[in-house]
């Protein structure tokens, strides 16, 4: 059963299903046949309906002639006996005699819209002809000398096809009509039955077609199966084409064999480079040069906090912990088109905007990756907490050494993001190469990460990142909270720093705190620290503690210009 399923829908290679071309051909031709047959059937239905409508008009005209003549006769009788009720009942009975379908009607409608007579089988009686538009049209036509004609109108909330004629003796419009849906019901039934037959015959034809196509295209399966094995083994081999017919499919296999040596060279290059951009370049250009160029990129720097304590506690086991963290974190970065620039112990550098074919905003990708890195760390902490709880349930408590290890594995990370023009390229030698990013913004991302420890927020970004997202990404769902204007060590100019908050992760109560912090920060910049302290004091955001400590004495430093100078990295 599994083999049959794979024959029809193909195998999965690296979580991607490879559909057989035979199945695609059969599906396409089946759809074409179905569309063609259904279209023909529908066109035939339209033509039949047109003929039915013409026939209906003839029958309605005949019925109306009888109905009209009988009404005239009843008028003469009424003139003799003055029994209006009896004459109306006779006319209604005559109308009922003409009706065959459940919703068919014969009406006598006065110019004011009053339904004087209604003949019907299962249609509820109506006293007023509510389709005023149709009634006005009949009156206008009658005044213009056209006392009869065909009409489409609404009666009892349903659409009708009918014919009318004005009777001057009774001073009423006589109408004979059929309900549209009821009239066309037979054609819909025929269309449904024929459609079922078409589907059945198409399925049978498709099954037979699969057999023929499988034989004709059998070497496609052979070529595909061999390539799948090569992908799994990461080793190119020649495909055995013995017995293959002389056609373009065989030529495809021969062409693949002739390219194997070239592709093997590319595979060797792939083994030297892990980054996706290098792989793409090697595939396109068949070589990778030691070169680079200025590019406008966004740089993300992530660092693990308290790493010295973790290393002293875990020793060589720190490698296992780092791999647990990096394995998932790097996957998330790559998912957002990030390229790993370097990994140095507890620090990770990623670059966004490298891929020219990507339409995603590089700064938005970096911010989303930053929060994914935090999710990875949070997930690891939760697992460690569950282990701790199980041990406590089993033994009652942790040993001192175990408690120290537990604290060491509760990873916390900080992320700094900056962007701008940097140098991106390949350095090293033709024996071993690596891609790298060089520029002032790289160092700035590292400094911003260091500020997360001071301001106690998970992610800090520069004004470049904020502007890039706000100006180029509509509906980005990120709130940028201005934290401070700082002069980091080694720099000569102050820069505004921001905390990007994902709106999906921000509770509503945070908005009030953000407003208090923003008002306090404005006063803080102006040197009005006493007033600023009041706003910071009632704010519960993590960075507010820093400003409470700064402003608690109410006096800013001499020559205060709104820029806080950092003494450490």
Q: What is the CATH number of the domain that holds 109?
A: 3.30.450.20
Q: Quick check: 358 pLDDT over 90?
A: no
Q: How far apart are CA 536 and CA 265, in angstroms?
A: 62
The better pLDDT of the pair 74, 232 is held by 74
Q: How far apart are CA 58 and CA 550, in angstroms?
A: 96
Q: Quick check: 182 pLDDT over 90?
A: no
Mean pLDDT of the region 325-344: 90
202, 314: one domain: no
The better pLDDT of the pair 5, 84 is held by 84
Q: How far apart are CA 139 and CA 145, in angstroms?
A: 10
The better pLDDT of the pair 289, 382 is held by 382
21, 113: one domain: yes
pLDDT of res. 162: 92
User: Which residues contact residue 333 at a Cβ distance below 8 angstroms, ignoring those fewer than 6 apart?
Assistant: 300, 340, 350, 369, 372, 373
Report how many helices (DSSP H) and strands (DSSP E) the chain contains, helices first: 17, 16
The better pLDDT of the pair 486, 492 is held by 486
193, 338: one domain: no
Residue 312 included in any domain: yes
pLDDT of res. 553: 84
Which of the residue ranges 97-101, 233-237, 502-506, 523-527 would you say has the lowest mean pLDDT? 233-237
Nearest alpha-carbon partner for 444 in 401, 480, 501, 494: 494
176, 308: one domain: no
Backbone angles phi, psi at 13, to 5 degrees: -125, 115
Q: How far apart are CA 207 and CA 432, in angstroms?
A: 55
211, 306: one domain: no
Residue 225 included in any domain: no
pLDDT of res. 272: 45
pLDDT of res. 275: 56
Which of the residue ranges 110-114, 312-316, 461-465 would you say has the lowest mean pLDDT? 312-316
Q: Cα–Cα distances in Å, from 208 out to 200, 213, 218?
A: 13, 9, 15
The pLDDT-based confidence of 268 (bands split at 50, 70, 90) is low
pLDDT of res. 528: 93
The better pLDDT of the pair 530, 233 is held by 530
Residue 500 included in any domain: no
Last residue of a domain, one of 216, 241, 274: 216
211, 297: one domain: no
Residue 210: give the domain boundaries: 1-216
**CATH code, domain carrying 340:** 3.30.70.1230
> How would DSSP label each residue in 140-175?
HHHHTT--EEEEEEEETTEEEEEEEEEETTTTEEEE
Q: How far apart are CA 430 and CA 267, in angstroms?
A: 15
The better pLDDT of the pair 200, 544 is held by 544
295, 199: one domain: no
Mean pLDDT of the region 319-345: 90
The better pLDDT of the pair 252, 347 is held by 347
pLDDT of res. 19: 60
- Maximum CA extent, the chain: 122
pLDDT of res. 280: 55
Q: How far apart are CA 393 and CA 386, in angstroms?
A: 11
Mean pLDDT of the region 358-373: 94
Mean pLDDT of the region 268-295: 56
The pLDDT-based confidence of 418 (bands split at 50, 70, 90) is very high
Residue 531 included in any domain: no
Q: Residue 542's CB: how many other CB atoms inside 10 A?
A: 13
pLDDT of res. 420: 93
pLDDT of res. 266: 61
pLDDT of res. 80: 87
The enclosing H or E element of 436 equals: strand 433-438
Q: How far apart are CA 360 and CA 469, in angstroms?
A: 11
The better pLDDT of the pair 282, 129 is held by 129
Mean pLDDT of the region 180-190: 82
Q: How many domains does the chain have?
A: 2
Residue 277 included in any domain: no
pLDDT of res. 520: 94
Instruction: Label the pairing between strands 564-565 and 478-487.
Output: parallel
pLDDT of res. 354: 87
183, 299: one domain: no
Q: How far apart are CA 220 and CA 253, in angstroms?
A: 9
Q: How far apart are CA 245 and CA 253, in angstroms?
A: 11
Last residue of a domain, one of 216, 245, 266: 216
Residue 223 included in any domain: no
Highest mean pLDDT among 56-60, 72-76, 504-508: 72-76
> How would DSSP label each residue in 86-143?
HHHHHHHHHHHHH--STT-EEEEE-TTSBEEEEEESSSPP-SB---HHHHHHHHHHHH
182, 319: one domain: no
Q: How far apart are CA 337 and CA 369, in angstroms?
A: 9
Residue 516 included in any domain: no
Residue 267 included in any domain: no
Distance of CA 63 to the CA centre of its chain: 58
Which of the residue ranges 102-111, 291-300, 524-533 would you say has the lowest mean pLDDT? 291-300
51, 150: one domain: yes
Which of the residue ranges 124-133, 329-338, 441-450, 554-563 would you say has the lowest mean pLDDT? 554-563
Last residue of a domain, one of 443, 458, 473: 473
pLDDT of res. 374: 94
Which of the residue ranges 91-100, 117-126, 131-140, 432-441 would you say has the lowest mean pLDDT? 432-441
Mean pLDDT of the region 7-28: 64
Which of the residue ranges 106-115, 190-199, 364-373 would you say has the lowest mean pLDDT? 190-199
Q: How far apart are CA 116 and CA 71, in angstroms?
A: 13
The enclosing H or E element of 2 equals: helix 2-9
pLDDT of res. 362: 94
200, 298: one domain: no
In this structure, is the dihedral angle defined by the CA atoms of residues 365, 371, 374 and 380, taken in order, positive or negative? Answer: negative
Nearest alpha-carbon partner for 408 in 371, 386, 389, 380: 380
Q: What percent of the chain has pLDDT over 70?
A: 84
The pLDDT-based confidence of 403 (bands split at 50, 70, 90) is confident
Let me know the angle formed at the C-alpha of 460 by 457 and 463, rounded to the nearest 5 degrees: 145
> How would DSSP label each residue in 233-300?
HT-------TT--SSHHHHHHHHHHHHHHHHHHHHHHHHH--SHHHHHHHHHHSS--S-EEEEEEEEE
Q: What percent of the chain has pLDDT over 90?
A: 38
CB 545 within 8 A of CB 456: yes
Mean pLDDT of the region 104-121: 92
Q: Look over the chain and give the mean of its residue pLDDT values, rounded to a whole number.
A: 83
209, 323: one domain: no
468-483 burial code (b ≥16 CB/10 A, e <16): bbeeeeeebebebbbb
Which of the residue ranges 6-10, 113-117, 344-348, 374-378 would you say has the lowest mean pLDDT? 6-10
Which of the residue ranges 142-146, 300-304, 431-435, 474-478 would you say has the lowest mean pLDDT? 431-435
pLDDT of res. 251: 65
Q: How far apart are CA 106 and CA 174, in angstroms?
A: 7
Q: Quick check: 269 pLDDT over 70?
A: no
Nearest alpha-carbon partner for 37 in 26, 25, 29: 29
Tallying the residues shown for the chain, one arrives at 569
Mean pLDDT of the region 179-187: 84
Q: How far apart are CA 290 and CA 366, in angstroms?
A: 27
């Amino acid at each position: 059963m599994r083999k049959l399923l794979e024959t029809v829908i193909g195998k999965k290679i690296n979580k991607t299903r490879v559909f057989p071309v035979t199945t695609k051909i059969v599906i396409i031709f089946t759809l074409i046949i179905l569309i063609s047959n259904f279209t023909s059937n529908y066109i035939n239905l339209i033509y039949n309906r047109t003929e039915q409508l013409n026939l209906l008009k003839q029958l309605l005209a005949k019925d109306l002639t009888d109905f009209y003549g009988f009404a005239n006769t009843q008028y003469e009788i009424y003139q003799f006996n003055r029994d209006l009720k009896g004459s109306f009942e006779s006319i209604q009975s005559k109308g009922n005699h003409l009706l065959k379908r459940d919703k068919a009607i014969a009406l006598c409608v006065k110019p004011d819209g009053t339904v004087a007579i209604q003949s019907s089988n299962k249609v509820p009686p109506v006293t007023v002809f509510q389709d005023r538009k149709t009634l006005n049209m009949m009156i206008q036509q009658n005044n213009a000398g056209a006392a009869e004609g065909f009409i489409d109108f609404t009666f009892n909330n349903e659409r009708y096809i009918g014919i009318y004629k004005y009777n001057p003796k009774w001073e009423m419009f006589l109408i004979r009509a059929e309900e549209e849906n009821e009239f066309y019901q037979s054609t819909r039934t025929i269309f449904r039955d024929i459609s079922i037959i078409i589907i059945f015959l198409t399925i049978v034809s498709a099954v037979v077609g699969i057999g023929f196509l499988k034989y004709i295209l059998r070497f496609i399966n052979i070529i595909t199966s061999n390539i799948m094995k090569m992908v799994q083994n990461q080793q190119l081999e020649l495909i055995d084409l013995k017995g293959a017919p002389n056609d373009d499919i065989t030529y495809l296999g021969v062409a693949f064999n002739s390219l194997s040596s070239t592709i093997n060279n590319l595979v060797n290059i792939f083994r030297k480079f892990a980054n996706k951009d290098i792989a793409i370049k090697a595939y396109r250009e068949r070589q990778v040069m030691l070169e680079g160029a200025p590019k406008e990129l966004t740089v993300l720097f992530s660092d693990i906090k308290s790493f010295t304590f973790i290393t002293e506690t875990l020793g060589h086991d720190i490698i296992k912990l780092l791999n647990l963290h990096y394995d998932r974190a790097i996957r998330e970065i790559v998912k957002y088109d990030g390229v790993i620039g370097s990994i140095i112990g507890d620090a990770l550098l990623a670059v966004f905007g490298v891929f020219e074919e990507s339409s995603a905003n590089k700064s938005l990708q970096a911010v989303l990756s930053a929060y994914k890195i935090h999710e990875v760390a949070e997930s690891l902490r939760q697992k460690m907490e569950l282990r701790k709880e199980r041990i406590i349930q089993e033994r009652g408590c942790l040993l001192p050494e175990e408690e120290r290890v537990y604290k060491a594995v509760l990873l916390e990370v900080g992320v700094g993001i900056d962007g701008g023009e940097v140098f991106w390229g390949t350095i090293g030698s033709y024996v071993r190469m690596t891609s790298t990013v060089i520029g002032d913004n790289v160092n700035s991302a590292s400094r911003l990460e260091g500020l997360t420890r001071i301001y106690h927020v998970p992610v800090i970004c520069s004004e470049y990142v904020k502007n890039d997202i706000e100006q180029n990404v509509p509906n980005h769902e990120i709130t940028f909270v201005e934290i401070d204007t700082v002069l980091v060590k080694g720099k000569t100019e102050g820069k505004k720093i921001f905390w990007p908050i994902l709106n999906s992760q921000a509770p509503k109560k945070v908005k009030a705190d953000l407003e208090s912090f923003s008002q306090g920060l404005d006063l803080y910049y102006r040197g009005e620290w006493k007033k600023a302290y009041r706003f910071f004091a009632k704010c519960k955001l993590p960075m507010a503690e820093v400003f409470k400590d700064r402003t608690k004495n109410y006096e800013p430093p001499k020559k205060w210009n709104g820029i806080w100078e950092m003494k450490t990295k």
